[in-house]
Amino acid sequence: MNESSSSAARPHYRGRFAPSPTGPLHFGSLVAAVGSYLEARTRGGEWLVRIEDLDPPRVVPGAADDILRALEACGMHWDAPIVYQSAREGAYHAALHELKQRGLVYPCACSRREIADSAVSGIEGHVYPGTCRAGLPAGKTARALRLDTRGAAIEFTDALQGSVRQNVEFAIGDFVVYRADHVFAYQLAVVVDDAEQGITDIVRGADLLDSTPRQIFLQRLLGLPQVRYMHLPAAVNENGEKLSKQTLAPPIDADHPVPALVAALHFLGQALPPDLNAARTDEIWKWAIANWGVERIPRSRQRPV
Ligand code: GLU
Protein backbone atom coordinates (compact mmCIF):
# COMPACT_ATOMS: atom_id res chain seq x y z
CA MET A 1 0.00 0.00 0.00
CA ASN A 2 1.47 3.36 -0.93
CA GLU A 3 1.83 6.40 1.29
CA SER A 4 -1.13 8.32 -0.11
CA SER A 5 -3.62 5.52 0.62
CA SER A 6 -2.46 4.72 4.14
CA SER A 7 -4.45 5.70 7.19
CA ALA A 8 -1.69 8.15 8.12
CA ALA A 9 -2.89 10.47 5.38
CA ARG A 10 -6.60 10.35 6.09
CA PRO A 11 -8.41 12.50 3.55
CA HIS A 12 -11.64 14.32 4.29
CA TYR A 13 -13.63 11.82 2.21
CA ARG A 14 -12.59 8.45 0.89
CA GLY A 15 -15.26 5.97 -0.10
CA ARG A 16 -15.10 2.51 -1.53
CA PHE A 17 -16.94 -0.27 -3.30
CA ALA A 18 -16.06 -3.73 -2.01
CA PRO A 19 -17.64 -6.47 -4.11
CA SER A 20 -17.21 -10.18 -3.44
CA PRO A 21 -16.27 -11.90 -6.70
CA THR A 22 -18.90 -14.59 -6.40
CA GLY A 23 -20.25 -13.85 -9.88
CA PRO A 24 -20.57 -10.97 -12.35
CA LEU A 25 -21.76 -7.52 -11.29
CA HIS A 26 -25.55 -7.56 -10.89
CA PHE A 27 -28.05 -4.80 -10.30
CA GLY A 28 -27.94 -5.04 -6.48
CA SER A 29 -24.18 -4.47 -6.41
CA LEU A 30 -24.37 -1.81 -9.11
CA VAL A 31 -26.66 0.22 -6.81
CA ALA A 32 -24.00 0.11 -4.07
CA ALA A 33 -21.30 1.02 -6.59
CA VAL A 34 -23.33 3.96 -7.97
CA GLY A 35 -24.30 5.27 -4.52
CA SER A 36 -20.76 5.10 -3.14
CA TYR A 37 -19.32 6.60 -6.34
CA LEU A 38 -21.72 9.55 -6.39
CA GLU A 39 -21.20 10.31 -2.71
CA ALA A 40 -17.43 10.33 -3.24
CA ARG A 41 -17.57 12.41 -6.41
CA THR A 42 -20.02 15.00 -5.10
CA ARG A 43 -17.98 15.51 -1.93
CA GLY A 44 -14.72 15.97 -3.80
CA GLY A 45 -13.56 12.68 -2.36
CA GLU A 46 -11.80 9.59 -3.62
CA TRP A 47 -13.38 6.29 -4.57
CA LEU A 48 -11.56 2.99 -4.15
CA VAL A 49 -12.44 -0.54 -5.19
CA ARG A 50 -11.53 -3.56 -3.09
CA ILE A 51 -12.13 -7.11 -4.23
CA GLU A 52 -13.28 -9.21 -1.29
CA ASP A 53 -11.96 -12.56 -2.45
CA LEU A 54 -11.17 -13.96 0.97
CA ASP A 55 -13.53 -16.88 0.94
CA PRO A 56 -12.14 -19.50 -1.49
CA PRO A 57 -15.27 -21.66 -1.72
CA ARG A 58 -17.33 -18.64 -2.84
CA VAL A 59 -14.86 -17.06 -5.27
CA VAL A 60 -15.67 -17.65 -8.92
CA PRO A 61 -12.64 -17.56 -11.24
CA GLY A 62 -12.83 -14.58 -13.59
CA ALA A 63 -15.57 -12.84 -11.61
CA ALA A 64 -13.29 -10.10 -10.22
CA ASP A 65 -12.18 -9.13 -13.72
CA ASP A 66 -15.77 -9.24 -14.97
CA ILE A 67 -16.85 -6.89 -12.18
CA LEU A 68 -14.01 -4.45 -12.90
CA ARG A 69 -14.78 -4.51 -16.62
CA ALA A 70 -18.45 -3.81 -15.92
CA LEU A 71 -17.54 -0.84 -13.67
CA GLU A 72 -15.28 0.54 -16.38
CA ALA A 73 -17.98 0.05 -18.99
CA CYS A 74 -20.31 2.03 -16.72
CA GLY A 75 -17.73 4.86 -16.71
CA MET A 76 -16.77 4.47 -13.04
CA HIS A 77 -13.09 5.10 -12.37
CA TRP A 78 -11.23 4.24 -9.18
CA ASP A 79 -8.56 6.47 -7.67
CA ALA A 80 -6.03 3.93 -6.35
CA PRO A 81 -4.83 0.48 -7.32
CA ILE A 82 -7.35 -2.29 -6.63
CA VAL A 83 -6.81 -4.06 -3.31
CA TYR A 84 -7.41 -7.82 -3.19
CA GLN A 85 -8.20 -9.29 0.20
CA SER A 86 -6.56 -12.57 -0.78
CA ALA A 87 -3.22 -10.71 -0.69
CA ARG A 88 -3.76 -9.25 2.77
CA GLU A 89 -3.73 -12.24 5.10
CA GLY A 90 -0.72 -10.80 6.98
CA ALA A 91 -2.73 -7.76 8.07
CA TYR A 92 -5.67 -9.89 9.27
CA HIS A 93 -3.24 -12.11 11.08
CA ALA A 94 -1.73 -9.13 12.90
CA ALA A 95 -5.17 -7.87 13.97
CA LEU A 96 -6.19 -11.30 15.18
CA HIS A 97 -2.93 -11.63 17.06
CA GLU A 98 -3.58 -8.35 18.84
CA LEU A 99 -7.08 -9.45 19.85
CA LYS A 100 -5.67 -12.76 21.08
CA GLN A 101 -2.92 -11.08 23.11
CA ARG A 102 -5.53 -9.00 24.85
CA GLY A 103 -7.67 -12.02 25.66
CA LEU A 104 -10.56 -10.82 23.51
CA VAL A 105 -10.86 -13.92 21.34
CA TYR A 106 -11.13 -17.52 22.37
CA PRO A 107 -11.04 -20.90 20.67
CA CYS A 108 -14.38 -22.59 20.18
CA ALA A 109 -14.93 -26.30 19.65
CA CYS A 110 -18.69 -26.25 19.09
CA SER A 111 -20.20 -27.73 15.96
CA ARG A 112 -23.17 -26.07 14.26
CA ARG A 113 -25.38 -28.83 15.64
CA GLU A 114 -24.19 -28.27 19.22
CA ILE A 115 -24.83 -24.54 18.91
CA ALA A 116 -28.27 -25.10 17.38
CA ASP A 117 -29.20 -27.42 20.26
CA SER A 118 -28.47 -24.92 23.00
CA ALA A 119 -28.85 -21.46 21.48
CA VAL A 120 -31.64 -18.91 21.33
CA SER A 121 -32.46 -17.20 18.05
CA GLY A 122 -30.99 -13.81 17.26
CA ILE A 123 -31.27 -11.55 14.26
CA GLU A 124 -28.97 -13.75 12.18
CA GLY A 125 -29.71 -17.26 13.29
CA HIS A 126 -28.45 -18.67 16.55
CA VAL A 127 -26.87 -16.50 19.22
CA TYR A 128 -23.71 -18.29 20.32
CA PRO A 129 -24.44 -19.43 23.90
CA GLY A 130 -20.87 -18.79 25.11
CA THR A 131 -20.11 -22.46 25.74
CA CYS A 132 -16.34 -22.19 25.15
CA ARG A 133 -15.86 -18.70 26.60
CA ALA A 134 -14.45 -20.04 29.86
CA GLY A 135 -12.20 -22.57 28.11
CA LEU A 136 -12.53 -25.54 25.78
CA PRO A 137 -14.46 -28.46 27.27
CA ALA A 138 -12.09 -31.35 28.13
CA GLY A 139 -11.10 -33.47 25.17
CA LYS A 140 -12.38 -31.00 22.56
CA THR A 141 -10.23 -29.31 19.95
CA ALA A 142 -10.62 -25.77 18.70
CA ARG A 143 -12.41 -25.26 15.40
CA ALA A 144 -12.85 -21.51 15.16
CA LEU A 145 -11.92 -18.35 17.05
CA ARG A 146 -14.69 -16.18 18.49
CA LEU A 147 -14.71 -12.62 19.74
CA ASP A 148 -15.95 -11.94 23.25
CA THR A 149 -18.84 -9.51 22.73
CA ARG A 150 -19.64 -8.75 26.34
CA GLY A 151 -20.26 -5.02 26.68
CA ALA A 152 -20.79 -4.50 22.95
CA ALA A 153 -23.79 -2.18 23.14
CA ILE A 154 -23.35 -0.21 19.92
CA GLU A 155 -25.18 2.89 18.77
CA PHE A 156 -24.53 4.88 15.64
CA THR A 157 -26.33 7.19 13.25
CA ASP A 158 -26.62 6.04 9.67
CA ALA A 159 -26.91 8.84 7.11
CA LEU A 160 -30.05 7.26 5.64
CA GLN A 161 -31.39 4.72 8.09
CA GLY A 162 -31.08 7.01 11.12
CA SER A 163 -30.25 5.88 14.62
CA VAL A 164 -29.23 2.23 14.94
CA ARG A 165 -28.72 0.41 18.23
CA GLN A 166 -27.63 -3.13 18.66
CA ASN A 167 -26.38 -5.07 21.63
CA VAL A 168 -24.09 -7.44 19.77
CA GLU A 169 -23.87 -9.86 22.69
CA PHE A 170 -27.62 -10.49 22.66
CA ALA A 171 -28.50 -9.94 18.99
CA ILE A 172 -25.60 -11.86 17.46
CA GLY A 173 -23.48 -13.37 20.23
CA ASP A 174 -19.73 -13.99 20.28
CA PHE A 175 -19.09 -14.14 16.56
CA VAL A 176 -16.42 -15.97 14.59
CA VAL A 177 -13.37 -13.95 13.54
CA TYR A 178 -11.37 -16.93 12.26
CA ARG A 179 -13.29 -19.78 10.72
CA ALA A 180 -12.93 -23.51 11.21
CA ASP A 181 -11.82 -23.75 7.55
CA HIS A 182 -8.92 -21.35 8.28
CA VAL A 183 -10.47 -18.32 6.60
CA PHE A 184 -10.50 -14.90 8.28
CA ALA A 185 -14.07 -13.78 8.78
CA TYR A 186 -15.49 -10.98 6.64
CA GLN A 187 -16.23 -8.87 9.75
CA LEU A 188 -12.57 -8.76 10.74
CA ALA A 189 -11.12 -8.34 7.24
CA VAL A 190 -13.45 -5.49 6.28
CA VAL A 191 -12.55 -3.48 9.40
CA VAL A 192 -8.81 -3.99 8.94
CA ASP A 193 -8.98 -3.05 5.25
CA ASP A 194 -11.20 0.00 5.62
CA ALA A 195 -8.78 1.37 8.22
CA GLU A 196 -5.66 0.57 6.23
CA GLN A 197 -7.10 2.14 3.09
CA GLY A 198 -8.07 5.25 5.05
CA ILE A 199 -11.77 4.88 4.23
CA THR A 200 -13.79 7.64 5.89
CA ASP A 201 -17.25 6.81 4.53
CA ILE A 202 -18.92 3.50 3.74
CA VAL A 203 -21.91 3.52 1.40
CA ARG A 204 -23.33 0.04 0.82
CA GLY A 205 -26.54 -1.97 0.82
CA ALA A 206 -28.68 -2.14 3.94
CA ASP A 207 -28.44 -5.94 3.85
CA LEU A 208 -25.18 -5.24 5.73
CA LEU A 209 -26.73 -2.90 8.32
CA ASP A 210 -26.87 -5.66 10.94
CA SER A 211 -23.15 -6.30 10.45
CA THR A 212 -22.16 -2.70 11.10
CA PRO A 213 -22.32 -2.86 14.93
CA ARG A 214 -19.93 -5.84 14.85
CA GLN A 215 -17.59 -3.82 12.69
CA ILE A 216 -17.81 -0.73 14.91
CA PHE A 217 -17.10 -2.92 17.93
CA LEU A 218 -14.01 -4.34 16.23
CA GLN A 219 -12.86 -0.85 15.19
CA ARG A 220 -13.07 0.24 18.81
CA LEU A 221 -11.24 -2.80 20.14
CA LEU A 222 -8.46 -2.35 17.60
CA GLY A 223 -8.26 1.42 18.13
CA LEU A 224 -9.11 2.14 14.49
CA PRO A 225 -10.69 5.38 13.27
CA GLN A 226 -14.46 5.60 13.21
CA VAL A 227 -16.15 5.50 9.83
CA ARG A 228 -19.39 7.21 8.71
CA TYR A 229 -22.06 4.95 7.25
CA MET A 230 -24.82 5.25 4.70
CA HIS A 231 -26.83 2.09 4.05
CA LEU A 232 -28.78 2.24 0.81
CA PRO A 233 -31.99 0.26 0.33
CA ALA A 234 -31.06 -3.25 -0.78
CA ALA A 235 -32.53 -4.32 -4.11
CA VAL A 236 -34.87 -7.28 -3.71
CA ASN A 237 -36.85 -9.37 -6.18
CA GLU A 238 -40.62 -9.89 -6.15
CA ASN A 239 -40.23 -12.55 -3.43
CA GLY A 240 -38.43 -10.09 -1.17
CA GLU A 241 -35.10 -11.87 -1.72
CA LYS A 242 -31.90 -9.88 -2.07
CA LEU A 243 -30.62 -9.83 -5.64
CA SER A 244 -27.60 -12.09 -5.69
CA LYS A 245 -26.02 -14.94 -7.51
CA GLN A 246 -28.17 -17.31 -5.43
CA THR A 247 -31.39 -15.60 -6.54
CA LEU A 248 -30.15 -15.63 -10.15
CA ALA A 249 -29.89 -11.87 -10.58
CA PRO A 250 -28.92 -11.17 -14.19
CA PRO A 251 -25.46 -9.67 -14.82
CA ILE A 252 -25.02 -6.09 -15.97
CA ASP A 253 -24.46 -6.06 -19.72
CA ALA A 254 -21.01 -4.44 -20.09
CA ASP A 255 -21.66 -3.88 -23.80
CA HIS A 256 -24.85 -1.90 -23.07
CA PRO A 257 -24.49 -0.58 -19.50
CA VAL A 258 -26.69 2.53 -19.85
CA PRO A 259 -30.11 0.98 -19.06
CA ALA A 260 -28.77 -0.56 -15.85
CA LEU A 261 -27.07 2.70 -14.87
CA VAL A 262 -30.27 4.64 -15.44
CA ALA A 263 -32.25 2.02 -13.51
CA ALA A 264 -29.78 2.22 -10.58
CA LEU A 265 -30.19 6.01 -10.44
CA HIS A 266 -33.98 5.63 -10.50
CA PHE A 267 -33.76 3.01 -7.78
CA LEU A 268 -31.87 5.59 -5.68
CA GLY A 269 -34.62 8.16 -6.26
CA GLN A 270 -32.65 10.17 -8.84
CA ALA A 271 -35.00 10.60 -11.78
CA LEU A 272 -33.10 11.48 -14.90
CA PRO A 273 -34.76 13.72 -17.47
CA PRO A 274 -36.24 11.44 -20.18
CA ASP A 275 -33.90 12.79 -22.86
CA LEU A 276 -30.94 11.33 -20.93
CA ASN A 277 -32.28 7.78 -20.92
CA ALA A 278 -30.32 7.00 -24.06
CA ALA A 279 -27.31 9.23 -23.31
CA ARG A 280 -23.67 8.14 -23.09
CA THR A 281 -22.30 7.11 -19.71
CA ASP A 282 -20.22 10.30 -19.38
CA GLU A 283 -23.33 12.43 -19.97
CA ILE A 284 -25.23 10.42 -17.38
CA TRP A 285 -22.47 10.94 -14.80
CA LYS A 286 -22.28 14.62 -15.57
CA TRP A 287 -25.99 14.93 -14.85
CA ALA A 288 -25.89 12.59 -11.84
CA ILE A 289 -23.00 14.43 -10.17
CA ALA A 290 -24.66 17.80 -10.74
CA ASN A 291 -28.05 16.61 -9.48
CA TRP A 292 -27.31 13.96 -6.83
CA GLY A 293 -29.62 14.39 -3.86
CA VAL A 294 -29.27 12.09 -0.87
CA GLU A 295 -32.60 13.40 0.42
CA ARG A 296 -34.32 11.71 -2.54
CA ILE A 297 -32.99 8.23 -1.71
CA PRO A 298 -35.77 6.14 -0.13
CA ARG A 299 -34.99 5.54 3.54
CA SER A 300 -36.03 1.90 3.59
CA ARG A 301 -33.87 -1.12 4.22
CA GLN A 302 -35.01 -2.78 1.03
CA ARG A 303 -36.85 -1.97 -2.19
CA PRO A 304 -38.21 -4.15 -4.95
CA VAL A 305 -36.58 -3.66 -8.32
N1 GLU B 1 -18.12 -7.81 -0.02
C2 GLU B 1 -19.41 -7.52 0.53
C3 GLU B 1 -20.49 -7.89 -0.47
O4 GLU B 1 -20.21 -7.97 -1.65
C5 GLU B 1 -19.60 -6.05 0.82
C6 GLU B 1 -18.77 -5.61 1.92
C7 GLU B 1 -18.95 -4.18 2.32
O8 GLU B 1 -19.35 -3.32 1.52
O9 GLU B 1 -18.62 -3.90 3.46
O10 GLU B 1 -21.61 -8.10 -0.05
9 band by pLDDT with thresholds 50, 70 and 90: low
Q: What is the pLDDT of residues 124-175, one digit of tens each?
A: 889 998 999 999 989 999 999 999 999 999 999 999 999 999 999 999 999 9
How many residues appear in the chain?
305
Cβ of 204 closer than 6 Å to ligand 1, yes or no, is yes
Cβ of 52 closer than 6 Å to ligand 1, yes or no, is yes
Q: What is the pLDDT of residues 205-236, one digit of tens each?
A: 999 999 999 999 999 999 999 999 999 999 99
Q: What confidence score (pLDDT) does residue 239 get?
A: 85
Asked if residues 231 and 256 have their Cβ atoms less than 8 Å apart, the reply is: no
Burial class (CB in 10 A: 0-12, 13-18, 19+), 267: buried
Show the DSSP H helices in 226-278 as ranges. 258-267
Residue nearest (by alpha carbon) to ligand 1 atom 6: 18
Q: What confidence score (pLDDT) does residue 10 get?
A: 65
Show the DSSP H helices in 161-257 as ranges. 168-171, 186-196, 212-221
Ligand 1 atom closest to Cα of 19?
A: 4
CATH topology of domain 3-90+190-304: Rossmann fold (3.40.50)
**Could you tell me the distance, in angstroms and rounded to a whole number, from the CA of residue 278 to the centre of ligand 1?**
30
Q: Is residue 5 predicted with pLDDT exceeding 60?
A: no
Domain with CATH 3.40.50.620 in the chain: 3-90+190-304, 103-178
Rounded CA-CA distance 297/293 in Å is 7
**Could you tell me the distance, in angstroms and rounded to a whole number, from the CA of residue 141 to the centre of ligand 1?**
31
Cβ of 104 closer than 6 Å to ligand 1, yes or no, is no
Ligand 1 atom closest to Cα of 204?
A: 8
Tell me phi and psi for residue 163, to 5 degrees.
Answer: -75, 130
**Could you tell me the distance, in angstroms and rounded to a whole number, from the CA of residue 135 to the centre of ligand 1?**
33
Cβ of 284 closer than 6 Å to ligand 1, yes or no, is no
Asked if residues 162 and 296 have their Cβ atoms less than 8 Å apart, the reply is: no
2 band by pLDDT with thresholds 50, 70 and 90: very low
Rounded CA-CA distance 20/54 in Å is 8
Q: What is the pLDDT of residues 241-294, one digit of tens each?
A: 888 767 767 899 999 999 999 999 999 999 899 988 889 999 999 999 999 999
CATH topology of domain 103-178: Rossmann fold (3.40.50)
6 band by pLDDT with thresholds 50, 70 and 90: very low
